[in-house]
A and B are shown apart, each in its own frame.
Chain A
Amino acid sequence: MQKYDIASVLCKKHKILYILFTQEFELLEFSDGVESLASTAQYLQTGKDVRESFWEFVGIEERLFELLSKKEKSFTIPVVCNHGSYYNIEVELFTSPQGDICFLCSFWKKSEIALKYFEKIQKLNQQTLKLKTDTNYANTKQSYYDLLNKQFISFHVDLEGFITQTNEMCRYFFESDSSEFFGKHFSEFFHTRDVSLKEGVEQVLYARDPLGVEVCFHTNVIPIEKEGKVVENIILCFDITYLKKIEKDLEYAVAHDSLTGVANRTRLLKKIDEAIQESKTSKKKFAICFIDLDKFKPVNDTFGHHAGDMLLKHIATLLQNFVRESDTVARIGGDEFVILFKEIESQEFLTDIIKRLELLQQKNPLHYTHEDTIHFSFSLGCSIYPDDAKDAKSLLAFADQLMYKQKKK
């Protein structure tokens, strides 16, 4: 069975590099490309002291041993700059299958958007210093705040959340005049679960620009006091759209097969559990169909692994197009697919579906190149809840056995 190294795909996609070292700082393992982040790559060899190539670890020995005493699960060194790259370092304990405890250190490279943000901050600091060293400093203090004002969206709201003032960036983002904001509740422009903006409460706001692009902001609420009483709040918005995107990508990767994009085993098991719960209430049956490709190995051997991958993608697409929206297609192994058919009306209904499913293999070969057409066939077996088994694993095992019998024939 061919295996896909999802961890390495995720590491590459999100620009994560890592090193692994012992409690004696001996380098055990490191990922490709990590040499670009080493303070000096000259000593980057397994068996060497990690502190010779990564100066970050000089002086933080005590901190590492705090991990061993389980006082902390991990610690982070944020925004390290090295050879023009910016990254966060996260250190945590790693226990090998043999039970050896060592340190796993991952390097999270900053995204392009984050780098642009840093550049903005750099320019802002440079302009500010210019202003601060100006002999006429008192007059330039206002300009300093104006500069800040140009970098972030901000607006003022009264205690009920009605907008009293907006900055230039806010008006630029919505392409609106001040008058279009004044007196309106901020939730008309920014969507959020909690419409009460309070100091110290982490809040995320969503807004769409006039082109319809959704942007996600993290907010800081700064109260303005008059005679000891809060009379207004300034809301400072920081664009965190790229962080939200990474979060979504990770959530997707955890539940889906990286090659075909269909559900993976974890998601399938969750879906089956959900179907069991629904079935208990609705009393409607559902079916699991286990599909195993016949003679998949010769495809790889004859046409190469790329063709094998293309065939798996082709079959995943065919199955996705075949099922209803409420059904789930999953790939749970090299050439093993499973379909969860929800709410089957009768045994006849299922038999009919299976017949049509079997026709797929005859009618849809993969046209790999102009010259090469790859035909395929599969064996399948089905189980029905609650007739054949009462839990996800047993349902899958039952269907697998039937599939195996069909394959033998």
Chain B
Amino acid sequence: MFSYKIVVLGDFGVGKTSLVRRFVENSFDEEYLSSIGVTMSRKECIYKGIKSTMIIWDTEGRTEHSPIFKQYLLGAKAFIIVADLTRKETIEAIKEHTLLCQEMVCNASIYIALNKSDLEHTPVEHQSLRDLSLQIVSVYETSAKSGDEVEEIFAHINTSVVESSNAKV
């Protein structure tokens, strides 16, 4: 079966682990437990009858005293940069995370998940985020808590990866 790697990154506390858990296990926990290092999960996907295995690297959130380890990003077919809709500074940090992704893998697509859409927040203009890089494919407003747009963002990634790998064949 065709296997590939994707990396989920972003500032700390934006809900990266919750997004992955919602997608892989369809569960959610209100309690915030900060991740350390990187944890890998696996999800089998099907698109137009083609089976594939997505290996998801859930990375430790960036803080002021701990940057993201660049090594985690290598070899990814796609990135999900997660930000918290209720914390402006995490949305501002998307630019920096995008640059990092571009630096490490120049041809991987980038997806943006503006998470915690179930909470009260100021609307965010998607186009300005897309304009940050040509590698940014799409911006989603997700909620790991309700499950909104979670399946969609991962399905979009799988579709693109499978189609581009078929195109290469």
Residues on A facing B (Cβ under 8 Å): 39-40, 51, 55-56, 58-63, 75-82, 86, 118, 121-123, 125-126, 128-129, 132-133, 148
Given A39-B42, A58-B55: A80 and B37 interface contact (C-beta under 8 Å): yes
The residue of chain A having its C-beta at the shortest distance from the C-beta of B34 within the complex is A125
Give A39 to B43 CA distance when docked, in angstroms.
13
**Residues of A with C-beta under 8 A to B69:** 78-79
Contacts of A132 in B (CB 8 A): 13, 87
Can you name 17 A-B residue pairings with CB atoms under 8 Å? A56-B40, A58-B3, A59-B4, A59-B55, A59-B75, A60-B75, A62-B75, A77-B38, A81-B37, A81-B38, A82-B39, A82-B40, A86-B36, A125-B61, A126-B33, A133-B86, A148-B64
A75 CA / B72 CA spacing, docked (Å): 11
Given A39-B42, A133-B86, A61 contacting B75 (CB threshold 8 A): yes
User: Which of A75, A77, A121, A125 is close to B13, meaning CB atoms less than 8 Å apart?
Assistant: A125
- Within 8 Å by CB of A59, from B38, B42, B61, B77, lies B77
Given A55-B40, A79-B60, A82-B40, answer yes or no on A121-B34 (Cβ-Cβ < 8 Å): yes
Binary flags per residue of B20-45, CB closer than 8 Å to A gives 1, else 0 = 00000000000011111111101000
- Alpha-carbon gap, A128 to B14, bound state (A): 12
The B contact surface, by secondary structure, is loop
Shortest beta-carbon distance, B134 to chain A, in Å?
22
Q: List 11 other contacts, CB 8 Å, given A58-B55, A118-B36.
A: A58-B5, A58-B75, A59-B5, A63-B74, A76-B71, A80-B37, A81-B39, A118-B37, A121-B34, A121-B66, A125-B63
For the complex, give the distance between the alpha carbons of A206 and B116 in Å: 45
User: CA of A348 to CA of B64 in the docked complex: distance in angstroms?
Assistant: 72
CB distance from B33 to the nearest CB of A (A): 7
Residue count of chain B within 8 Å CB distance of chain A:
32
B35 contacts across to A, CB distance below 8 A: 81
Given contacts A59-B55, A59-B75, contact A51 B3 (CB under 8 A): yes
Q: Chain A: which residue is nearest B37 at the CB level?
A: A79
For residue B114, CB closer than 8 A to chain A, the reply is: no
| From B3, B36, B66, B74, residue with most partner A Cβ within 10 Å | B36
Task: Report the minimum CB–CB distance from A256 to chain B (whole Å).
Answer: 34
53-103 of chain B: CB within 8 A of chain A: 53, 55, 60-61, 63-66, 69, 71-72, 74-77, 86-87
B12, CB-defined interface residue at 8 Å: yes
- Give the CA-CA distance A121 to B61 in the complex, in Å: 11
Q: In the complex, what distance in Å separates the CA atom of A148 from the CA atom of B71?
A: 26
Shortest distance between the CB of A172 and any CB in chain B (Å): 20
A77 to B71, CA, bound (A): 6
Q: How far is the CB of A222 from chain B (nearest CB, A)?
A: 11
Kindly list chain B residues whose C-beta atoms are within 8 Å of the C-beta of A129.
12-13, 32, 34
Residue pair A78, B37 in contact (C-beta under 8 Å) = yes
Q: How far is the CB of B164 from chain A (nearest CB, A)?
A: 14
Kindly state the separation between the CA atoms of A125 and B66 in the bound complex, as whole angstroms. Answer: 11
Complex contacts, A58 vs chain B, CB 8 Å: 3-5, 53, 55, 75
Write out the residue numbers on chain A whose beta carbons fall within 8 Å of the beta carbon of B61.
125
Are B74 and A126 closer than 8 Å at their CB atoms? no
- Please, which residues of chain B bring their CB within 8 A of the CB of A59? 4-5, 55, 74-77
The 4 closest A-B pairs by CB, nearest first: A79-B37, A59-B5, A59-B75, A125-B34
Cα of A86 to Cα of B71 in the assembled complex, Å: 16
Q: Given A59-B5, A79-B38, verify A128-B63 contact (CB < 8 Å).
A: yes
Residue of A nearest to B75 (CB): A59
